[in-house]
Amino acid sequence: MNKPDLLPATRSFLAKPAKMLIGGQWRAAAAGETLPSIDPATGEVIADFPAGSATDADEAVRAARQAFPAWKRITPYDRGRLLQKVAALIEKHGDELAELITLENGKPLWEAKKEVGTAVSWTEYYAGWTTKLTGETIPLSLPGQFLNYTTREPLGVVAGITPPNYPLTMPLYKAMPALATGNAVIIKPSEDTSLVALRLGELIAEAGLPDGVFNVLTGLGEAVGAALANHNDVDKITFTGSTEVGRALVRASAGNLKKVSLELGGKSPNIVFADADLEAALKGVFMGIFFCQGEICSAGSRLFVERGIYDDFVAGLADMARSVKLGHGLDPSTKMGPLVSQAQQQRVLGYVGIGTDEKANLLAGGKAPGGSLAKGFFVEPTVFSGVTNQMRIAQEEIFGPVVCAIPFDDLSDAVAKGNDSPFGLAAGIWTRDIRKAHQAAAALEAGTVWVNCYNAFDNASPWGGFKQSGWGREKGPYGLDLFTQVKSVIINFS
Ligand code: NAD
């Protein structure tokens, strides 16, 4: 397998012992334990990082609580300037960050570079909001003279728990709106991609954020993640991950009734009508499921194709899937990398077995490749046809490069099948008929509906799920609501 040399900056970061950032200090876990970070393309250990415990979580919460009052009071302009510095440092170290993302997550370097670009623009976007957080004046009907105004106040200590599919942007999706609105933040990154979060912590410290305002706590979800979720001095949990863990966090939050927002799983329908621009639809469907190895919450993993074009369209998709070059993400010829972990690879292969047992037709992929890729956690891009919406492979989130193709007869059939899911994160529609597009967009139960595009994301556009895909909306001004509480002040001046 082709794997070029690492940049000197990446090598020197990996050569140092990885430490957690707590209260402005770089620390090993209190118990001295570590976990390995593994290159999923080779199965080799990249470096070890601290395996924190409830004791470390306590320390991080104490540090964040101490830092909060001053951070809340710093002027919006100064807060914005500091966050702009974070954006500039991410941009400056973009090549190195992209390399680390590829090493830990497996995605090809070109995808990792896109992620860095999003990280920069996202950070700039919320840095710009610090000076624009206003309240309202509200006319009251009480007898006498009153002034009622509202202010938006930070919540306090915010803990962000994140998954491994976007190792850099996920921690920033949580941290930036929370910091911009004056909260102190603790990030608990995925145990599969903790090094990227620790490097981000270095850059945030370099930008000059006061000690304790931003902390990175690494370790297992059941250990540090659960400790934060149960902690009585954490005011808010902001989580992206599986629906199952989301449920556990809701239960854990009951102790101090901390606020919770959740970005969870999906099983998104991508619906292709016979009147669509089929060339564009095929490319969109392909990217919709295979981008980021299919490890993306919005993956268009249920493909609904109008019956008259079903066979040809699905055969075209299977041809494209077979032509994908798998490899190490740092090899420039690689089109798709490995899954993030061996556990995830085994889970995906398990679902391929379930699909075959359910008598779905395996048209492409379905295996872990051998040869020079055998030690990595690869799964070939996989296309199932002859799927019914009741099969487990059509109902459960696989979180990998597996698409289930299902025929439909007309718009109402497509919408009924599309909505027949416990999830409601996103949906895609491909048609040239504007009436059909609007009717389907109105009827689909999803937080985001894309028409003649898929996975089109923008920092300003709200993101979140219907049904069991989540609570709350991130991005844009909606994202500010997740980290602020409204205070109403009523003054009697009669
Ligand atoms: P996961 O739920 O297993 O883990 C996510 C995070 O939760 C990790 O940091 C993990 O350590 C932590 N965690 C695990 N158990 C915990 C516990 N008991 N208490 C506290 N924290 C705990 O998810 P994953 O496999 O890492 O990520 C894939 C999932 O994330 C998929 O379901 C995917 O759809 C979802 N996701 C959703 C979005 C979205 O925007 N809706 C985006 C990306 C990923």
Q: Which residue ranges make up each domain of the chain?
A: 8-264, 269-458
Confidence of residue 457 (pLDDT cuts 50, 70, 90): very high
How far is the centre of ligand 1, averaged over its atoms, from the C-alpha of 261 (Å)? 13
Q: What average pLDDT score do residues 285-314 get? A: 98
- To 10 degrees, the CA torsion angle through 403, 444, 395, 352? 0
From the CA of 463, give the closest atom in ligand 1. 40
Q: Among the options 111, 263, 295, 306, which is catalytic?
A: 263
Our mutation pick for probing the ligand 1 site, out of 49, 53, 161, counting the most ligand atoms within 8 A of Cβ, is 161
From the CA of 248, give the closest atom in ligand 1. 18
How far is the centre of ligand 1, averaged over its atoms, from the C-alpha of 123 (Å)? 22
Rounded Cα distance between 212 and 229, Å, is 19
Tens-digit pLDDT profile for residues 144-173: 999 999 999 999 999 999 999 999 999 999
* % of the chain at pLDDT higher than 70: 99
- Quick one: pLDDT at residue 4? 66
Tens-digit pLDDT profile for residues 214-249: 999 999 999 999 999 999 999 999 999 999 999 999
pLDDT at 1 over 90: no
Our mutation pick for probing the ligand 1 site, out of 105, 194, 240, 377, counting the most ligand atoms within 8 A of Cβ, is 240
**Mean pLDDT estimate for the chain:** 97
Residue with CA at minimum distance from ligand 1 atom 38: 297
How far is the centre of ligand 1, averaged over its atoms, from the C-alpha of 161 (Å)? 8
The SS3 call for residue 216 is strand
Which CATH architecture fits 8-264? 3-Layer(aba) Sandwich (3.40)
- Quick one: pLDDT at residue 234? 98
**H-type helices in 291-360, by residue range?**
307-322, 342-357
* % of the chain at pLDDT higher than 90: 99
Rounded Cα distance between 10 and 377, Å, is 23
Asked if 351 contacts 398 with a C-beta cutoff of 8 angstroms, the reply is yes
Q: Among the options 59, 111, 292, 297, which is catalytic?
A: 297
How far is the centre of ligand 1, averaged over its atoms, from the C-alpha of 265 (Å)? 9
Confidence of residue 5 (pLDDT cuts 50, 70, 90): confident
- Quick one: pLDDT at residue 453? 98
pLDDT at 2 over 70: no
How far is the centre of ligand 1, averaged over its atoms, from the C-alpha of 466 (Å)? 17
How far is the centre of ligand 1, averaged over its atoms, from the C-alpha of 491 (Å)? 45
From the CA of 263, give the closest atom in ligand 1. 41
Is 44 noted as a catalytic residue in this protein? no
Running DSSP on this structure, what letter comes out for residue 250?
Answer: H
Q: Report phi then psi at 64, rounded to 5.
A: -65, -40
Is 404 noted as a catalytic residue in this protein? no
The H or E element that residue 11 is part of is helix 8-15
Which CATH architecture fits 269-458? 3-Layer(aba) Sandwich (3.40)
How far is the centre of ligand 1, averaged over its atoms, from the C-alpha of 56 (Å)? 21
From the CA of 188, give the closest atom in ligand 1. 9
Tens-digit pLDDT profile for residues 86-142: 999 999 999 999 999 999 999 999 999 999 999 999 999 999 999 999 999 999 999
Q: Report phi then psi at 260, rounded to 5.
A: -135, 130
Residue with CA at minimum distance from ligand 1 atom 43: 297
What residues contact residue 152 under an 8 Å CB cut-off, 6+ apart?
A: 133, 134, 135, 181, 480, 484, 485, 486, 487
Site residues for ligand 1, CB cut-off 6 Å? 161-165, 188, 190-191, 221-222, 225-226, 229, 240-242, 245, 248-249, 263-266, 297, 397, 399, 425, 465, 470
Our mutation pick for probing the ligand 1 site, out of 297, 298, 341, 466, counting the most ligand atoms within 8 A of Cβ, is 297
Q: What average pLDDT score do residues 429-450 get? A: 98
Q: What average pLDDT score do residues 321-349 get? A: 97
From the CA of 161, give the closest atom in ligand 1. 9
How far is the centre of ligand 1, averaged over its atoms, from the C-alpha of 163 (Å)? 5
Strands (E), 234-345: 236-240, 259-263, 269-272, 302-306
- Quick one: pLDDT at residue 3? 56
Our mutation pick for probing the ligand 1 site, out of 162, 218, 245, 258, counting the most ligand atoms within 8 A of Cβ, is 245
- Quick one: pLDDT at residue 367? 98
Burial class, 494, CB count within 10 angstroms (exposed 0-12 / middle 13-18 / buried 19+): exposed
- Quick one: pLDDT at residue 243? 95
Go through 169-197 and write b for each residue having 16 or more CB atoms within 10 A of its CB, e for each that does not: bbbbbbbbbbbbbbbbbbbbbbbbbbbbb
How far is the centre of ligand 1, averaged over its atoms, from the C-alpha of 58 (Å)? 22
pLDDT at 332 over 70: yes
Residue with CA at minimum distance from ligand 1 atom 28: 241
From the CA of 344, give the closest atom in ligand 1. 25
In DSSP notation, 100-116 reads HHHHHH---HHHHHHHH
From the CA of 474, give the closest atom in ligand 1. 40
Q: What average pLDDT score do residues 26-37 get? A: 98
Rounded Cα distance between 70 and 59, Å, is 18
Q: What average pLDDT score do residues 401-408 get? A: 98
Q: Is the dihedral angle over the CA atoms 181, 183, 184, 185 positive or is it negative? A: negative
- Quick one: pLDDT at residue 244? 96
Q: What average pLDDT score do residues 179-195 get? A: 98
